């Protein structure tokens, strides 16, 4: 009988235990050996409801050296303590499963090596895109050809907030509160809204498909903090919705890895990804483009991916499933340049506040023309306040980040322009 230890009995931990209870027969019939939950470690376990037949502790390190425990499921979150739990568990020859993207993006390279060295299973399916089996798909089904690009909506909280603002007119903070209540947001939701969580996820995917060390430190990261209801409405008028995406692609010897908001045209399938849903468009040199779509966050969705790993871990432990080894075989063996954000070209959405004075539009378009930037669409609104500031919204042709930054600086210095110009990239056709 294999013994399972669970570290962290919060949103995902509780859903995981419930999933095992509800689907016990089904799961026991897909594994090579019987198993049971033997220990739960959680610092505030006394405040939580749990099955009193299961032993509990507040000390997560306790189970890493417990010789009875065969498989540890880490669902605490954060980096330092999970790092200690996981490395110590692996060194003690325990199989490990985690949903912790921050840890994998920071220390995955080292942990993969350690797992290989100690011949233990290490599963992290739940770390990217919740219930979507993206890690399995990339490392097994799609591992026999070149992945050219991945573009995805990979943070459920951001997508939920943007959708609630767009479809239901909710304020940013109210939508965030809902995402917290529904169990979508991280314990520290700053990581969701500032793009860090999505950066962790795209770095994991880039490192897997391009066999490079985690590119987190070179990933361009922008969140959704500056997206206003006004931007969402203007984008709608022009036929676009605003989404937060992660993009990685390889061109020659350079890899792009970035997360930021984008305008997505309403005809693009990604613009239909609503609420907490995630979606990834993956392009390979032979299969073309495939899309994976599903629940990106939440206890049940995430626990479902953890259960998938548990079945693999049990079968791995009895030598029946060696797929897991494929993931780590070539991890980190390649090295590439990571493109700088300013070198990447795309159309841009610009929102400019200007005084309602004749000639101001001509001044702005002159600046753009001098930077060789043309305007694809433009809309001008009624004054928004007594100072007669008018919002001018435009979409440019495809230009690189340096040209747009230069143009923005010059526009901001124009006498009749007020405040900062707000720029958002527009998703290009070859990124769909």
Footprint of ligand HSE on this chain (CB under 6 A)?
130, 155-157, 184-186, 192, 197, 296-297
User: Is residue 8 part of the contact set for ligand NDP (CB under 6 A)?
Assistant: yes
Q: Output 64 or 159, the one with its CB closest to ligand HSE.
A: 159
User: Is residue 10 part of the contact set for ligand NDP (CB under 6 A)?
Assistant: yes
Say whether 70 sits in a helix, a strand or coil. coil
Any idea which residues carry the catalytic annotation?
201
Say whether 40 sits in a helix, a strand or coil. strand
Question: Is residue 333 classed exposed, middle or buried when 0-12, 13-18 and 19+ CB atoms within 10 A define those classes?
Answer: exposed
Judged by beta carbon distances under 5 to 8 A according to partner kind, the member of ligand HSE, ligand NDP, none in contact with residue 249 is none
Least Å from the CB of residue 280 to ligand NDP? 15
What does the CA dihedral 321, 139, 268, 155 come to, rounded to 10 degrees?
80
User: Is residue 99 part of the contact set for ligand NDP (CB under 6 A)?
Assistant: yes
Q: Output 296 or 391, the one with its CB closest to ligand HSE.
A: 296
User: Is residue 75 part of the contact set for ligand NDP (CB under 6 A)?
Assistant: yes
Least Å from the CB of residue 189 to ligand HSE? 7
Judged by beta carbon distances under 5 to 8 A according to partner kind, the member of ligand NDP, ligand HSE, none in contact with residue 322 is none
Cα 324 off chain centre by: 22
Q: Output 11 or 315, the one with its CB closest to ligand HSE.
A: 11
What's the CA gap between 60 and 127, in Å, rounded?
Answer: 20
Q: Output 105 or 297, the one with its CB closest to ligand HSE.
A: 297
User: Is residue 43 part of the contact set for ligand NDP (CB under 6 A)?
Assistant: yes
User: Is residue 184 part of the contact set for ligand NDP (CB under 6 A)?
Assistant: yes
User: Is residue 123 part of the contact set for ligand NDP (CB under 6 A)?
Assistant: no
Least Å from the CB of residue 159 to ligand HSE? 8
423: closest CA among 350, 316, 346, 315? 350
Judged by beta carbon distances under 5 to 8 A according to partner kind, the member of ligand NDP, ligand HSE, none in contact with residue 192 is ligand HSE
Q: Judged by CB under 6 A, which stretch of 4-12, 18-26, 137-145, 204-212 contacts ligand NDP?
A: 4-12
Cα 135 off chain centre by: 13
User: Is residue 401 part of the contact set for ligand NDP (CB under 6 A)?
Assistant: no
Identified binder of ligand NDP from the candidate list 1, 25, 34, 44, rule CB under 6 A: 44
CB-based contacts of 392, cutoff 8 Å, min separation 6: 350, 351, 352, 353, 354, 360, 361, 364, 378, 379, 380, 381
Site size toward ligand NDP (CB under 6 A) is 27
Q: How far is CA 166 from CA 172, 229, 271, 331, in A?
A: 10, 7, 12, 40
Judged by beta carbon distances under 5 to 8 A according to partner kind, the member of ligand NDP, ligand HSE, none in contact with residue 94 is none
Judged by beta carbon distances under 5 to 8 A according to partner kind, the member of ligand HSE, ligand NDP, none in contact with residue 42 is ligand NDP
Identified binder of ligand NDP from the candidate list 39, 76, 198, 282, rule CB under 6 A: 76
User: Is residue 125 part of the contact set for ligand NDP (CB under 6 A)?
Assistant: no
Least Å from the CB of residue 306 to ligand NDP? 8
- DSSP one-letter code for 346: E
Q: Output 70 or 278, the one with its CB closest to ligand HSE.
A: 278
Tokens of 42: 């959680």
What does R_g of the chain's alpha carbons equal in angstroms?
24
User: Is residue 297 part of the contact set for ligand NDP (CB under 6 A)?
Assistant: yes
Least Å from the CB of residue 190 to ligand NDP? 13
What's the CA gap between 131 and 196, in Å, rounded?
Answer: 20
Residue pair 88/61 in contact by the 8 Å Cβ criterion = yes
Kindly state the helix (H) or strand (E) to which residue 237 belongs, with its residue range.
Answer: helix 229-237
Residue pair 149/249 in contact by the 8 Å Cβ criterion = yes
Judged by beta carbon distances under 5 to 8 A according to partner kind, the member of ligand NDP, ligand HSE, none in contact with residue 157 is ligand HSE
Least Å from the CB of residue 203 to ligand NDP? 14
CB-based contacts of 308, cutoff 8 Å, min separation 6: 123, 125, 133, 136
What's the CA gap between 96 and 87, in Å, rounded?
Answer: 9
Tokens of 84: 């200690």
What's the CA gap between 234 and 239, in Å, rounded?
Answer: 9
Question: Is residue 53 classed exposed, middle or buried when 0-12, 13-18 and 19+ CB atoms within 10 A define those classes?
Answer: exposed
Q: Output 184 or 316, the one with its CB closest to ligand HSE.
A: 184
Residues that bind ligand NDP (CB under 6 A): 8-13, 41-44, 60, 75-77, 81, 99-101, 126, 130, 183-184, 186-187, 297-298, 302
């Amino acid at each position: 009988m294999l013994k399972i230890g669970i570290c962290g009995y919060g949103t995902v931990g509780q859903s995981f235990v419930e999933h095992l209870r509800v689907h016990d027969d089904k799961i026991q019939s897909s594994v090579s050996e019987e198993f049971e939950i033997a220990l739960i470690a959680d610092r505030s376990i006394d405040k939580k409801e749990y099955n009193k037949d299961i032993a509990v502790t507040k000390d997560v390190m306790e189970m890493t050296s417990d010789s009875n425990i065969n498989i540890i499921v880490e669902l605490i979150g954060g980096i330092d303590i999970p790092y200690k739990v996981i490395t110590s568990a692996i060194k003690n020859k325990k199989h490990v499963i985690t949903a912790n993207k921050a840890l994998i993006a920071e220390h995955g390279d080292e942990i993969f090596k350690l797992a290989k060295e100690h011949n233990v299973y290490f599963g992290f399916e739940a770390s990217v895109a919740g219930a979507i089996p993206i890690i399995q798909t990339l490392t097994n089904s799609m591992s026999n050809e070149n992945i050219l690009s991945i573009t995805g909506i990979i943070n459920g909280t951001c997508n939920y907030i943007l959708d609630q603002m767009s479809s239901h007119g909710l304020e940013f903070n109210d939508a965030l509160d809902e995402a917290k209540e529904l169990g979508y947001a991280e314990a520290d939701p700053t990581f969701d809204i500032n793009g860090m969580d999505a950066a962790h996820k795209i770095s994991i995917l880039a490192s897997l498909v391009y066999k490079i060390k985690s590119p987190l430190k070179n990933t361009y990261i922008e969140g959704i903090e500056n997206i206003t209801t006004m931007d969402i409405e203007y984008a709608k008028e022009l036929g676009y919705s605003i989404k937060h995406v992660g993009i990685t692609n390889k061109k020659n010897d350079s890899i792009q890895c970035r997360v930021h908001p984008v305008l997505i045209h309403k005809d693009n399938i990604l613009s239909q990804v609503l609420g907490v849903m995630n979606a990834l468009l993956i392009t390979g040199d032979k299969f073309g483009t495939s899309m994976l779509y599903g629940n990106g966050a939440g206890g049940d969705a995430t626990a479902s991916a953890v259960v998938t790993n548990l079945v693999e871990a049990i079968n791995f432990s009895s030598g029946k499933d060696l797929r897991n080894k494929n993931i780590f075989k070539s991890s980190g063996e390649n090295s590439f340049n990571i493109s700088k954000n300013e070198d990447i070209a795309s159309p841009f959405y610009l929102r400019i506040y200007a005084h309602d004075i004749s000639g101001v539009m001509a001044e702005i378009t002159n600046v753009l023309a001098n930077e060789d930037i043309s305007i694809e669409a433009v809309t001008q609104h009624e004054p928004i306040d007594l100072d007669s500031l008018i919002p001018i919204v435009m979409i440019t042709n495809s230009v690189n980040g340096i040209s747009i930054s230069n143009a923005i600086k010059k526009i901001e210095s124009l006498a009749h322009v007020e405040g900062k110009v707000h720029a958002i990239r527009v998703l290009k056709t070859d990124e769909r």
